[in-house]
Each structure stands twice: as C-alpha cells, then as structure tokens.
Amino acid sequence: MSASRIMWTAGSVGVTALLVLGWQIIANYGGIPQVFLPGPDRAWSALVDGFANGDLAELSLATIERMIYGWVLASIVGIVLGALIGSSRIAREYVAPMLEMVRPIPVSAFMPVVIAFLGLTGAMVTIVIAIGSIWPVLLATVQGVSSVEPRLMEVARSLRMGRLETLWKIALPSSQPDILAGMRIGLTVSLILAVIGEMLTSENGLGWHVLMAARSFRSADLFAGVILLGLIGLVSNVILQEIERYMLRWRRR
C-alpha cells in the first residue's frame, strides 16, 4: 500500500471517529430524548446483541441476497441490451429517445405494475431492484460500446469478424471501464431498492427490521440497522473496486 493511500485511509478513519464522537456528545448532552437519538454506544450494543442472537445475521443475509440477485439480473440484461444498442447507429437513433424518456421515471412508478403481476412477494422486490439498477449499467454499456476506438473497429473489419464476434472480442473488452463504473452505481441502487422493497412487502430483511424498530420506538435497533446497511454498502463497494482494479490492471501497464 502506497504512502498516499495510507494517509487517505488514516484521514477517513479520523473523520469518521470525529463524527462518532460528535454524535455521542449530542446524544448525551444535546437535550434530545434517547428514544429519538440514542448514542453510538447504545446502537453498538444493539448491533452486538442482534448478531449474538442471530437475528441481524439472518436479516442481513436476506437483504444481501435480494440485492445481489436483482443487481446480477440488471447487469446481465443491461450489458446485453447496451451492447446491442451501442453497436448499431440505427438502434441508437431510434431507441435513445425512448431510453431518455423512460430513464427519469422513478422506480416507484413501476411498482404498482409489478405488484399487479407478482403481488407483494420477494420476486416482486427482485424485479423492482433489477428495473431500478439496470439504467446505470445499460447507459454505461451503450456509451462504452458506441465510443470504441475506430482503429479497433477497422481491425475487426479487416479480419472479417462478424458483429457478435466484434462485440465479444473488441467492443466489450474495450468498454470494461464504463461497464464496471455503471455496475458500481447499480450495486448502490440495488441496496437502496432492496430496503425499500422489504419495507413495502414486509419481507424478512434489514428494511423490514428498521421499519419495525421505528414503529415501536426502538431507536437503538433502528440505528443499528442503519449502521449495518451502511457497512454492507461500504464493503460491497470496496469488493467491487478491487474486482475493477484487477480486471483493469492492463490499463496501468
């Protein structure tokens, strides 16, 4: 690990420690009732107790499972559609306006349609996650494939490579930076939608746990759930960053 990276890591840890200290001071001396704002000590105790009895571990695995399933589905469909659209000028001209029209529509607008077909079920949550997290992957893939170096495309034509072969061997590898960036954004969106879906459907997961804690004024459990969701987002992003760094190691040569 380089010295600059160590300094950045130390600075991040220091800022986080100051924020936690400020939170503790406000909770103890800020005049806010503990039922609304527990200190980090109480939230940590609730977190430890939740893992000790196994409840939080089970809830976390359920949420992570939904997040991963929806994200993988969105990534596969987004990359395939994005590659097909990005590799065709005619498809971009005809489909791009529709994409720009549908993309700003919030996922909540699609929920009643999905509920009508699947009901308030876990499958509905997975589909909603996929619908919401597909856009970063799809648009990034379209951008990456459509902006491949022209000389590489000339090489493909000189070798008489077919469209699918060109996509697989030239366009998609060249578009890896864009695709991986879109997948990172999509992973964050998938976690958010997993929590919202669990709150809506009462499916077992951290979203349902946080909602029930809020309704019963168990503020320590509520903050423990929020902290755990933040940790899941952080760890998943770090893992994907390392995968991205490994897959794009050729750019550093």
What pLDDT digit, counting tens, does each position of 101-116 carry? Answer: 887 888 888 888 888 8
**Cα–Cα distance list, 104 to 26, 45, 216 (Å):** 39, 41, 35
- For residue 241, the tally of other CB atoms under 10 A from its CB is 12
pLDDT at 2: 65
Q: Cα separations (Å) of 136 from 76, 143, 191?
A: 12, 11, 14
Same domain, 24 and 115: no
Residues 46 and 105 in one domain: yes
Q: 174-189, pLDDT tens digit by residue? A: 889 999 999 999 999 9
53 plus 23 within the same structural domain = no
Please tell me whether residues 70 and 120 are part of one structural domain. Answer: yes
What is the pLDDT, as a whole number, of residue 164? 81
Residues 73 and 133 grouped into a single domain: yes
* In a shared domain, residues 195 and 149: yes
Q: State whether 64 and 165 are in the same domain.
A: yes
Q: Which domain holds residue 230?
A: 38-252
21 plus 67 within the same structural domain? no
pLDDT-derived band at 1 (thresholds 50, 70, 90) equals: low
Question: From CA 20, how far away is CA 29, in angstroms rounded?
Answer: 14
The mean per-residue pLDDT over the stretch 4-19 comes to 83
Cα-based distances in Å from 4 to 11, 89, 253: 11, 44, 20
Domain count for the chain, please give it: 2
Percentage, residues of the chain above pLDDT 90 = 46
Q: At residue 252, does pLDDT exceed 90?
A: no
In this predicted structure, the answer to whether residue 77 has a pLDDT above a threshold of 90 is: yes
pTM as predicted: 0.88
- First vs last Cα of the chain: how many Å apart? 18
Looking at the structure, tell me whether residues 182 and 204 fall in a common domain: yes
